[in-house]
Chain A
């Protein structure tokens, strides 16, 4: 009886014109953009949106970016965009986009690299690969703080830490090139020593980063006894 008027189409797959409402500089090379969406629908932490840019001559470029916000932020999503020197879409976001600008978005998409409330869970991020993992952490902290999500995060330099004020005391960081002064934690690439303790007892792992990072980390987790079917991966970048 309540539905005498048609319900708005909310399925993913429709392009919509979103408005940039906030830009946050995360690191010198990484910015996060919050958008207001006219046809918002709740996403699962880990899902992505497609972004489409159109030039005056009709030329178009599309890329996918992970949502980094919790679906509790109704009507909005936040995307984190890493500046790639030879990129086409990320330089536009970093150099041109301002608050108030409009951008075509479409999503949320794909339902494998998503967190559905499992615990304990290991999150392993390399560089900007931490983005979809942050959506999981943010949502867990606001909805199910008693659940056990453990983050292992690999960055090159101290300046590269994205979401630095939200990383949490239980997270394990490693610096592969240069650690902050006085750092007594792990340095160098992820290894079995770093992953052994957080992997023990994890029923699921999410690993995201460059191909080389994901290849190394997921093989280490298999070596530490995790079943391959419990390790979900998302990769970006070339093979070499």
Chain B
């Protein structure tokens, strides 16, 4: 590690000690919930919304908005970490576990690409989506997920940088190889673990 010191720089923001170990390296705590999107915000009507699991699977699945809401619903307390350096601690989302969604699908590959209304994609290995680590969420802090934050539904993978939690998610495609998504093709890391500070291609 470099021992460079910035002349005259001192800490201006203080994170309470009990929260300090929840902030990954290079991140700062943000109380609001900033919006980061590569293009205009899509308008997705829940009447025509569906969520699919397809690709290399034994059984494809698809749920309408109403069918999705018959699945077991979980509240997920979590911290989220954006690659642009802010972290939001102690927030919560509500939705359906990816484990539940994958029940009976029988994936035949170890990788996935999440794809969204509006064209966004992001790759996530299946191991990062299973075992209680990922959800498709329709609520944020008890309210319907706002459009700007990916409503009606977004992927939630809180242990990875937040660009992996695809907004306006429409489905998961199972693949037998890791295929870089939108930001992964445009400079961000293929996996994006905030604790390892995997921000960019060479990290």
- Report yes or no: B85 in contact with A63, Cβ–Cβ below 8 A: yes
How many residue pairs link A and B with beta carbons under 8 A? The number is 117
**In the complex, what's the smallest C-beta–C-beta distance from B9 to chain A, in angstroms?**
5
Q: Interface SS of chain A: helix, strand, loop or mixed?
A: mixed
* Contact of A239 with B34 at beta-carbon distance under 8 Å, contacts A53-B6, A55-B9, A211-B148 already known: yes
Residues in chain A near residue B2, CB distance under 8 A: 15, 54, 104
- Report yes or no: A218 in contact with B41, Cβ–Cβ below 8 A: yes
The contact of B187 among A54, A88, A110, by CB within 8 Å, is: A110
Contact of B28 with A by CB under 8 A: yes
- Report yes or no: B37 in contact with A55, Cβ–Cβ below 8 A: no
Residues in chain B near residue A215, CB distance under 8 A: 35, 41, 148
**In the complex, what's the smallest C-beta–C-beta distance from B122 to chain A, in angstroms?**
13
Residues in chain A near residue B201, CB distance under 8 A: 12-13
Contact of B196 with A by CB under 8 A: no
Query: Which residue from chain B places its CB closest to the CB of A64 in the assembled complex?
Result: B84
* Contact of A228 with B34 at beta-carbon distance under 8 Å, contacts A54-B9, A239-B148 already known: no
Residues in chain A near residue B202, CB distance under 8 A: 11-14
- Report yes or no: B5 in contact with A56, Cβ–Cβ below 8 A: yes
Contact of B200 with A by CB under 8 A: yes
- Report yes or no: A109 in contact with B187, Cβ–Cβ below 8 A: yes
Distance, CA A52 to CA B9, complexed state (A)? 11
Q: Of residues 82 to 134 in A, which have CB atoms within 8 Å of B's CB atoms?
A: 87-88, 91-92, 96, 101-104, 109-113
Query: Which residue from chain A places its CB closest to the CB of B42 in the assembled complex?
Result: A228
Residues in chain A near residue B47, CB distance under 8 A: none
- Report yes or no: B187 in contact with A231, Cβ–Cβ below 8 A: no
Distance, CA A59 to CA B5, complexed state (A)? 10
The contact of A219 among B12, B28, B40, by CB within 8 Å, is: B40
Distance, CA A32 to CA B186, complexed state (A)? 26
- Report yes or no: A104 in contact with B32, Cβ–Cβ below 8 A: no
Distance, CA A111 to CA B38, complexed state (A)? 11
**Taking each of B33, B41, B119, B187, which has the highest tally of chain A beta carbons within 10 Å of its own beta carbon?**
B187
Distance, CA A138 to CA B31, complexed state (A)? 36
Distance, CA A17 to CA B2, complexed state (A)? 10
Interface size class of B (residues with CB under 8 A): 35 or more
- Report yes or no: B187 in contact with A218, Cβ–Cβ below 8 A: no
- Report yes or no: A92 in contact with B9, Cβ–Cβ below 8 A: yes
Contact of A60 with B by CB under 8 A: yes
Contact of A180 with B by CB under 8 A: no
Residues in chain B near residue A236, CB distance under 8 A: 34
Query: Which residue from chain A places its CB closest to the CB of B26 in the assembled complex?
Result: A62
- Report yes or no: A239 in contact with B32, Cβ–Cβ below 8 A: yes
**Taking each of A12, A103, A110, which has the highest tally of chain B beta carbons within 10 Å of its own beta carbon?**
A110
Residues in chain B near residue A231, CB distance under 8 A: 39-40
Query: Which residue from chain A places its CB closest to the CB of B41 in the assembled complex?
Result: A215
Contact of B118 with A by CB under 8 A: yes
Q: Of residues 7 to 66 in B, which have CB atoms within 8 Å of A's CB atoms?
A: 7-13, 25-26, 28, 30, 32-42
Distance, CA A221 to CA B39, complexed state (A)? 11
Residues in chain A near residue B25, CB distance under 8 A: 60
The contact of A54 among B6, B28, B203, by CB within 8 Å, is: B6
- Report yes or no: B203 in contact with A237, Cβ–Cβ below 8 A: no
Contact of A186 with B by CB under 8 A: no
Q: Of residues 58 to 104 in B, which have CB atoms within 8 Å of A's CB atoms?
A: 84-85
Given A54-B5, A56-B10, 6 new contacts (CB under 8 A) = A52-B26, A53-B6, A59-B11, A60-B26, A61-B11, A113-B38
**B residues in contact (CB < 8 Å) with A:** 2, 4-13, 25-26, 28, 30, 32-42, 84-85, 118-119, 148, 182-183, 186-188, 200-203
For the complex of A and B, 10 pairs with smallest distance between CB atoms: A13-B202, A238-B32, A110-B187, A218-B40, A96-B8, A53-B6, A112-B186, A88-B12, A211-B35, A59-B11
